[in-house]
Amino acid sequence: MTELSLDQNPIWVPNVEIGANRFDALYYDPTLTVAERHLRAKGPLGWKRLQDVASELYSFGAYELTNQIRFVERGQDTIPYLNVTEVKNPFVHFAGARHIDRASHRLLEKSACSPGTLLLAMSASIGRVGILPATAGACNSNQHLAKVVIDGTQHDPHFLAIYFSSSVGKASCEREAAGAVQKSLYLYNIATLPIPDPSPSLRTAIGHKVRAAELLNARAEVEARRAVEQLDTLFPNPMHRALKPNEDGKCDYFSGFVGNGELGLFHGAQFFAPKRKNAIEFVSTSGVGRRIGTCGSRVREKGKRTSSRKHLDPANVSGVDGYWTTEPDEDGGDVVIAESSQVLFMRMRPYLNKTTINDGSSAVSGSPEFLVYQFASSDSYFAALCLRQPWALSQVAEIATGDRPRVDGEFVDDVLVPWPCDELRHEIGEHYRCSFVLRRRADTLVEQAIEDVERLVQGILDETDTIHAGTALAEEFGLEVPK
């Protein structure tokens, strides 16, 4: 196949290729025009439509029923309810989803989905596509997600998840979207999306990079969970329920009476809110509580956009475990600078769970709303994990002030955390650090898979090397060897 760049510009579209489709710049984007020429070229790479390889393709939009959903706190007998926000190419991050009860799940049985299903955004965030991981179990989803079950004998769902995460796959979804205010796709648009159909061995090899990344992410979740579980052993009765935000979003301001003897220096009623008091009392039960400011130091280093470096945006920090990703290297006006292993505490009240750590080897910039802390290198991950826990965030959530409520650094310095012996701190911190290492490798495999797909479409992929790499992953992770 003749090499054709996916981003060549400009490109001439002959009249005979226009057909009855929309005549606008997006529809004839060079990326798609080049891809379609490959589709019609009858070359080594075959193409199909998504409906040709799907055993099921459905969505469910009964708005009257969705109004009867009952959201509940996550538990053993609850079901994740997936929204478009949980779809982050090429995976569905179900761990961050809200949960519904079994009755709601039965009511919305036509929206149920299971591991291995592809979820495609049908409105607003067009181009979001992810595969539901094997660890997800039974899930439900809203009406803005199309559910696609791939016939394993016809194609590889993990390969298709990464194809729709590539520039060509995303653009093929976006070009079909219609609507003046909120762009939308219909099921027939999704059914007819063109997909590459390489040899079974090649699509399996590329799909293995996605499967390996899925397994690495699952291991990372286990490591992060082990760290929190070990941290909980420091408390005689680790009950966090009373420290979580109320279901109605209120923070119990003025809901408890504080005697004059407890007032001391008056900082406002919020300073003595019940959850703050409960959290301090809770951490004190560990017998090894210390102020975070005595365990490390707050770094008062701010910067300007003077060089290109990775920028840590709070929007790209997972609220579940603190793992972060970054867009192309770029600062952005006023920033704070965090060196390797420094902890970034998000001081704005609605986003306290965006607290994280710079796990890279070089400095990153971050939002000026981050407070940067320096700890001994062996304690950084333990400290970051502590500052993400409900009993730590509850100590400052209710004393945030201002039109955009934020916490002053002096109050964060006073947050009480358990500080056990060196050996236990390092053991817990190592579990948390491993979760970052595993996720970084998973991200690298996803990036490699996207590059493989784009080179495949262009006709410049080294298939022998790709199959060899897939075979190595199969041996490492116990997957089927590409044949």
Report domain extents, the chain.
15-195, 198-223+429-483, 235-419
Cβ–Cβ < 8 Å for 320, 385: no
Looking at beta carbons, which pairs linking 179-185 to residues 24 or more positions away fall under 8 Å?
179/123, 182/123, 182/124, 183/123, 183/124, 183/126, 184/122, 184/123, 184/126, 185/120, 185/121, 185/122, 185/123, 185/126, 185/146
What is the CATH topology of the domain spanning 15-195?
Answer: Adenine-n6-DNA-methyltransferase TaqI; Chain A, domain 2 (3.90.220)
Query: HSE-up of 256 (CA within 13 Å, CB side)?
Result: 14
Phi-psi region of 195 (alpha: psi -120 to 50; beta: other; left: phi over 0): beta
% of the chain exceeding 90 in pLDDT: 53
Continuous segment of H or E residues that includes residue 172: helix 167-176
pLDDT of residue 286: 92
Q: State the pTM of this model.
A: 0.87
Average pLDDT over residues 199-207: 97
As a whole number of Å, the CA-based R_g of the chain is 25
% of the chain exceeding 70 in pLDDT: 81
pLDDT of residue 371: 95
- Peptide bond just before 30 cis, omega within 30 deg: no
| Beta carbons within 8 Å of 87's beta carbon, 6+ residues apart | 93, 119, 121, 125, 128, 129, 130, 145
304: DSSP letter = -
Model confidence at 413, in pLDDT bands (50, 70, 90)?
very high
| Beta carbons within 8 Å of 377's beta carbon, 6+ residues apart | 341
pLDDT of residue 302: 67
Q: Which CATH class is domain 235-419?
A: alpha beta
Which alpha helices (H) appear in 41-81, and where do they start and end?
Answer: 50-53, 63-66
Of 186-195, 241-250, 400-409, 447-456, give the range with the top mean pLDDT: 447-456
pLDDT digit string (tens) for 377-395?
Answer: 899 999 999 999 888 988 8
Range in 34-38, 91-95, 225-229, 442-446 the model is least confident about? 34-38
Amino acid at 452: D
Continuous segment of H or E residues that includes residue 212: helix 200-232
Sheet containing 302-303, strands listed edge to edge, beginning at the edge strand earlier in sequence: 302-303, 335-338, 364-366, 311-312
Instruction: Give Cα 14 to chain centroid, integer Å.
Output: 42
**Of 70, 221, 60, 88, nearest to 145 (Cα)?**
60
Cβ–Cβ < 8 Å for 196, 44: no
Can you tell me which residue has the tokens 């710049």? 25
Average pLDDT over residues 128-152: 94
A 10 A CB-CB count for 25 gives: 7
pLDDT of residue 329: 55
pLDDT digit string (tens) for 218-275?
Answer: 999 999 999 999 999 999 876 665 566 555 444 444 334 444 444 344 444 455 567 7
Range in 3-12, 352-361, 470-479 the model is least confident about? 3-12
Can you tell me which residue has the tokens 């009964």? 62
pLDDT of residue 251: 46
Report d(CA 170, CA 6) in Å as an integer.
13
Report d(CA 165, CA 87) in Å as an integer.
11
Amino acid at 362: S
Q: What is the mean pLDDT of the chain?
A: 85
Report d(CA 381, CA 384) in Å as an integer.
5
Range in 29-33, 233-237, 398-402 the model is least confident about? 29-33
Of 252-266, 341-355, 458-472, give the range with the top mean pLDDT: 458-472
Do 15-195 and 235-419 have matching folds? yes
Report d(CA 113, CA 106) in Å as an integer.
12
Report d(CA 322, CA 312) in Å as an integer.
12
Burial tier of 402 (Cβ tally within 10 Å: 0-12, 13-18, 19+): exposed
Average pLDDT over residues 10-27: 57
pLDDT of residue 306: 59
Amino acid at 329: D
Average pLDDT over residues 199-227: 97
120: DSSP letter = E
pLDDT digit string (tens) for 166-184?
Answer: 988 998 888 888 776 778 8
